[in-house]
A and B are shown apart, each in its own frame.
Chain A
C-alpha cells in the first residue's frame, strides 16, 4: 500500500471525519499535544542539561534520567497518539507538506538518538574519559528534539 493510498484512506476514515466534524475534539486533541509537549520538553531538557553539566549537578545523570523516565515515556506516548490523531484528521494535507516530513524525520532520529547515543552517554557520564562524546550526544539529542518542535510549528504556517 503506497503512502498516497494509505493517506487517502486515512483522510476518508470515520476517525478523520469524526475529528473534523466535531467542534471540540480537535482542540482537545491539540491541548493534549501541547500539554504532552510541556512534560516531554521538560524531561528532554533536564536530562540533556545534566549531560551538558548544567541543572541538577548534585545528582548523577543516570539518577536524573531514571527518575524522569516514566514521565518521558508517558508524555512521548501522549505526543505520538495525539499527533497521529491530528495527522489523521488532515492526512492528505499533511502528507503534502514538506514541513511535516521534516518533522517526522527529526522525530524518528530524535527517538533513535534518545534510546541509543543518549542512553550510552548517561551510562558513561561521570567517568574520566568520553566527556566530549557525552556532551556531543546531548547536543545532538536536544537539537533533534528542537527540530521536531520547530518543524511542527512550521507545518502550521505552510
Chain B
C-alpha cells in the first residue's frame, strides 16, 4: 500500500541518525519513557476535561473556564507526545510503519483529531449558553465519550506496537 511512502520510510531507515537512535543504549529507552510518562500530563488533563463534558466530575467549574485553564497544559503535553512519537518512529521506521498496531493507532489519532475539531467548531462555540450546566448538552457529552474511547484505544494500540504478533517477517 502506498509504495512511495514505503520507499520514503525505507530511506529513513538507512539515515545515520535513525541507525544511531535505534542502536543507542540510552536514547531510545529515554525517549520512549518520556513518551509513556508524558501521557499522564496530556491524557490526564484531557480525561478530566472529557469527564467534565460528561457531567461526571468538576461539575461546579464552568466548562469554558476548565478548558481555558487546562488546554495550555494538554497542548504542551501533546507537543511532547508528538515530538517523542516522531522520534520513536524515526528510530525504527520500517518496522513501525508496517506494524498493524501502529496503523491502528494512527487511524485512531486521526479520528480523535476529527472529534476535537468537530467539537470545537460545533457545540463548543455555544459554550456560553451551556458551560455552567452540571450536565452539558448531548453533543458535548458524545464528544467527551468519543474522546475517552478513542484515546483508550490509542494507548492500547500504542502499547501493542511492541508486540510483533502480526509483523510480516514473522
Contacts and interface: CB of A to CB of B under 8 A. Distances in A.
Contact of A42 (B33, B43, B59): B43
Contacts of A107: none
Contact of B155 (A34, A68, A149): A34
A149 to B, nearest CB: 5
B61 A45 contact: no
Given A46-B48, A58-B65, A150-B37, A38 B57 contact: no
Interface residues of B, number: 33
Contacts of B43: 38, 41-42
24 contacts: A34-B36, A34-B156, A35-B152, A35-B155, A37-B39, A38-B39, A38-B151, A41-B40, A41-B41, A41-B44, A42-B47, A44-B40, A45-B41, A58-B61, A59-B58, A64-B58, A67-B57, A68-B48, A68-B57, A71-B51, A149-B37, A150-B33, A153-B36, A153-B37
Contacts of A42: 40, 43-48
A153 B155 CA distance: 16
Nearest to A30: B159
A63 B61 CA distance: 10
Interface of B: 29, 32-33, 36-37, 39-41, 43-48, 51, 57-61, 65-66, 69-70, 73, 151-152, 155-156, 159-160, 163, 165
B159 A153 contact: no
> Could you say which of B29, B32, B37 has the most chain A C-beta atoms within 10 Å of its C-beta?
B37
A41 to B, nearest CB: 2
Which 10 residue pairs of A and B lie closest in terms of their CB atoms, listed nearest first?
A42-B44, A41-B40, A153-B33, A38-B43, A41-B44, A31-B156, A149-B37, A157-B29, A67-B58, A67-B57
A56 interface: yes
A53 interface: no
Interface bracket on A: 20 to 34
Contacts of A31: 155-156, 159
Nearest to B157: A31
Contact of B60 (A49, A55, A63, A149): A63
A68 B29 contact: no
Interface of A: 23, 27, 30-31, 34-35, 37-46, 49, 55-59, 63-64, 67-68, 70-71, 146, 149-150, 153-154, 157
A39 B47 contact: yes
Contacts of B32: 153
A147 B151 CA distance: 25
Given A34-B159, A58-B69, A39 B61 contact: no
A31 B36 CA distance: 12
B39 A41 contact: yes
A12 to B, nearest CB: 25
Contacts of A68: 48, 57-58
Contacts of B41: 41, 45
A27 B73 CA distance: 29
